C-alpha cells in the first residue's frame, strides 16, 4: 500500500511530500525522504518487542504502569516533565496540563538547542518568514553555525537553495549561498562563499557586520580578531545590504557556544539593521520534528515558550532557573517524566546522573539510555507513523501527521491522558 504526501516528522523541515510504501505491516520505502528521514521511517516500522510498560525493568500492564508512574509523580515536590520535541501537539497539550496539576516544571528540548533564539526574540524581536518566502524570493541565503547538509538534508533542496520560486525563477542560479562556520562542514560544498571564523567569535563577527550595516567602518585588527579579512567582512555586508531578499539561518553553532542568547541577539539585531537596506529575514534551524510545536503549545497555554514552572499554581518562566539542566544538576527535581527524548544520553553528566537518582518515567518508542534507568518505562506509538497528530515546522507552520501503520502501543497522548486522570485523582483536584 502506498501513502502519498506523508509528513516526515524527524527534523524541523517536516517535509510533507513523502510517499511511503507499506508491505506486510512494515514500511519498505519512503520516497522523497532524505537519508535521515528514510532511516526514521524504516527504523520505526520494526515489529514490536518492548512490553507496553515496565516497572523497574519488569514487564507490567499499562494500568500497573500508570498507577506506579502516577504515584511517583503525585508524591513529588518538584517534578520535571521534559522532552516533547518529537511528539504531537496533542500529547504536548496533555503534558502541560499534567505539569500544571503536579505543580512542577515543564521544559522541552528547546532549552538545550534554540532556547537562546527564543530569548533573543524576547529581547529584541525577530524579523522572520515562512520557508516558502525563502523559496519564492531569497537571492541571498546565509547559513551561520549550521550544517544543513547533515542536520537537515532537504533544507537546501526543498526550501532554500535549489528550488525555483516566484521571484527566483532560475532557482539555484538566482541565489548566492553563504556558509559561516568555525570549520569547513559538508554544507560548504553547496555554498558560493564559505567564511571560516575563529571559534568563539560569532558574536564579534555579527556585531561587526551590524556596524557595517549601520554605516560604520571597521579596522583590519577587528576583522583579523574574527578570523576574516576586512575585505571578506565588507563583501558580506555589501551583499547583505544589496540583496533583494536575504535570509539568515542560525544554527546551534550560535546558540550553544559561549554567549548563547547574546549571539542570537546579535544575529537578530543584524537582520533588523539590514531591513533599512534590503528585505531580510532570519530563521532558527530548529532540530526536532515538533520542537517548534512545543514552543507554541507552551506559549498559548502558559505564555512562555520553554522552561516553565508551576510551583505557585501559575506559570513562571526563567531560563537558568526552571530549565532542565538547572533543575536536575542543582538536585532540585525529585521525579522526572521524559516524553520522546533521551536526556540520560544527551544532557551534561551531573544532570544526567540526577535522572538515575530520582524516579524517572519515560514514554518512548525505543529503548534508550533514559528508558534503561527509568523506574517506569512506557513503550508508545510514534507520532507520524503509528499515530496522528499535529506538528509545527521550523517556520511555525502546522501540519497534520498521518498514521501509516497500525500499532499495538498507545500513543503518547493516550498514556498522558491516563496519567493525568490518575494524578488528578491522587491529588484530589
Q: Considering only 37-45, 47-55, 77-85, 364-372, which stretch makes contact with other proteins by CB under 8 A?
A: 77-85
Site for other proteins in 182-221 (CB under 8 A): 203-204, 207-208, 210-211, 214, 216, 218-219
Give the number of other Cβ atoms within 10 Å of residue 164's Cβ.
13
Looking at beta carbons only, is 229 or 275 nearer to other proteins? 275
Query: What is the smallest separation between the CB atom of 311 and other proteins, expressed in angstroms?
Result: 5
Residue 197, helix vs strand vs coil: coil
d(CA 74, CA 424) in angstroms, rounded, equals 8
# residues contacting other proteins (CB under 8 A): 99
C-alpha cell recorded at residue 396: 511555525
DSSP bridge pairs for 80: 105, 336
Q: What is the per-residue DSSP string for 87-121?
A: S-HHHHHHHHHHHHHHT-EEEEGGGGTTHHHHHHH
Residue 320, helix vs strand vs coil: coil
The kind and range of the H/E element at 371 are helix 369-373
Query: What is the smallest separation between the CB atom of 85 and other proteins, expressed in angstroms?
Result: 16
d(CA 194, CA 236) in angstroms, rounded, equals 11
Site membership for other proteins, residue 304 (CB under 8 A): yes
Site membership for other proteins, residue 25 (CB under 8 A): no
Q: Which member of 37, 83, 118, 384 binds other proteins (CB under 8 A)?
A: 118
Looking at beta carbons only, is 123 or 174 nearer to other proteins? 123
Beta strands in 285-397 (DSSP E): 308-309, 316-317, 335-339, 360-364, 376-379, 389-392
Site membership for other proteins, residue 414 (CB under 8 A): no
Site membership for other proteins, residue 126 (CB under 8 A): yes
Q: Considering only 178-186, 270-278, 336-344, 369-377, which stretch makes contact with other proteins by CB under 8 A?
A: 270-278
Site for other proteins in 249-268 (CB under 8 A): 258-259, 262, 265-266
Residue 32, helix vs strand vs coil: coil
Site for other proteins in 223-242 (CB under 8 A): 225
Looking at beta carbons only, is 57 or 169 nearer to other proteins? 169
Site for other proteins in 344-363 (CB under 8 A): none
Query: Could you give the angle at the alpha carbon of 235 between the alpha carbons of 231 and 238, nearest 5°?
Result: 140
Site membership for other proteins, residue 275 (CB under 8 A): yes
Site membership for other proteins, residue 316 (CB under 8 A): yes
Burial of 137 (0-12, 13-18, 19+ CB in 10 A): buried
Query: What is the smallest separation between the CB atom of 133 and other proteins, expressed in angstroms?
Result: 5
- H, E, C per residue of 397-414: CEEEECCCCCCCCCCHHH
Looking at beta carbons only, is 26 or 350 nearer to other proteins? 350
Query: What is the smallest separation between the CB atom of 421 and other proteins, expressed in angstroms?
Result: 16
- C-alpha closest to that of 416 among 11, 70, 34, 165: 70
Site membership for other proteins, residue 174 (CB under 8 A): no
Site for other proteins in 89-108 (CB under 8 A): 89, 93, 97, 100-104
Q: Which member of 311, 350, 408, 421 binds other proteins (CB under 8 A)?
A: 311
Site membership for other proteins, residue 21 (CB under 8 A): no
Amino acid at each position: 500500500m502506498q501513502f502519498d504526501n506523508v509528513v516526515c516528522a524527524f527534523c524541523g523541515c517536516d517535509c510533507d511530500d513523502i510517499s511511503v510504501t507499506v508491505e506486510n505491516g512494515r514500511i519498505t520505502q519512503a520516497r522523497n525522504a532524505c537519508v535521515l528521514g528514510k532511516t526514521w521511517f524504516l527504523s520505526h516500522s520494526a515489529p514490536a518487542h518492548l512490553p507496553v510498560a515496565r516497572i523497574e525493568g519488569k514487564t507490567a500492564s499499562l494500568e500497573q504502569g500508570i498507577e506506579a508512574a502516577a504515584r511517583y509523580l503525585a508524591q513529588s515536590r518538584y517534578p520535571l516533565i521534559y522532552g516533547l520535541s518529537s511528539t504531537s501537539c496533542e500529547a504536548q497539550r496533555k503534558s502541560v496540563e499534567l505539569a500544571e496539576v503536579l505543580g512542577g516544571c515543564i521544559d522541552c528540548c528547546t532549552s538545550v538547542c534554540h532556547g537562546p533564539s527564543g530569548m533573543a526574540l524576547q529581547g529584541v524581536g525577530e524579523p522572520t518568514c515562512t520557508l516558502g518566502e525563502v523559496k519564492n524570493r531569497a537571492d541571498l541565503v546565509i547559513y551561520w553555525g549550521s550544517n544543513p547538509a547533515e542536520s537537515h538534508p532537504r533544507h537546501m533542496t526543498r526550501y532554500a537553495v535549489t528550488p525555483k520560486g516566484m521571484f527566483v525563477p532560475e532557482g539555484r542560479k538566482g541565489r548566492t549561498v553563504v556558509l559561516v562556520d568555525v570549520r569547513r562542514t559538508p554544507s560548504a560544498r553547496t555554498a558560493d562563499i564559505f567564511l571560516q571564523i575563529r571559534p568563539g567569535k560569532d558574536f564579534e563577527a555579527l556585531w561587526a557586520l551590524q556596524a557595517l550595516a549601520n554605516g560604520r567602518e571597521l579596522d583590519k585588527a577587528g576583522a583579523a580578531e574574527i578570523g576574516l579579512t576586512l575585505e571578506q567582512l565588507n563583501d558580506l555586508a555589501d551583499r547583505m545590504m544589496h540583496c533583494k531578499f536575504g535570509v539568515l539561518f542560525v544554527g546551534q553553532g550560535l546558540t550553544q557556544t559561549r554567549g548563547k542568547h547574546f549571539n542570537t541577539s546579535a544575529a537578530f539585531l543584524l537582520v533588523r539593521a539590514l531591513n533599512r537596506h534590503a528585505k531580510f529575514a532570519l530563521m532558527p534551524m530548529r532540530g526536532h520534528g515538533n520542537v517548534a510545536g512545543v514552543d507554541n503549545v507552551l506559549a498559548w497555554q502558559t505564555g512562555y515558550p520553554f522552561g516553565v514552572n508551576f510551583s505557585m499554581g501559575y506559570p513562571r518562566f526563567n531560563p537558568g532557573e526552571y530549565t532542565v539542566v538547572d533543575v536536575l544538576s542543582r538536585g532540585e527535581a525529585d521525579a522526572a517524566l521524559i516524553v520522546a527524548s533521551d536526556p540520560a544520553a544527551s544532557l551534561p553528566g551531573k544532570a544526567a546522573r540526577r535522572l538515575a537518582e530520582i524516579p524517572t518515567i519515560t514514554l518512548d518508542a525505543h529503548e534508550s539510555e533514559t528508558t534503561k534507568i527509568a523506574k517506569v518505562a512506557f513503550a508508545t506509538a510514534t507520532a507520524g507513523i503509528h499515530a496522528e497528530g499535529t506538528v509545527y515546522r521550523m517556520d511555525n507552520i502546522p501540519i497534520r501527521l498521518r498514521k501509516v501503520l497500525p500499532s499495538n502501543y498507545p500513543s503518547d497522548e493516550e498514556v498522558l491522558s491516563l496519567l493525568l486522570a490518575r494524578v488528578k485523582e491522587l491529588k484530589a483536584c
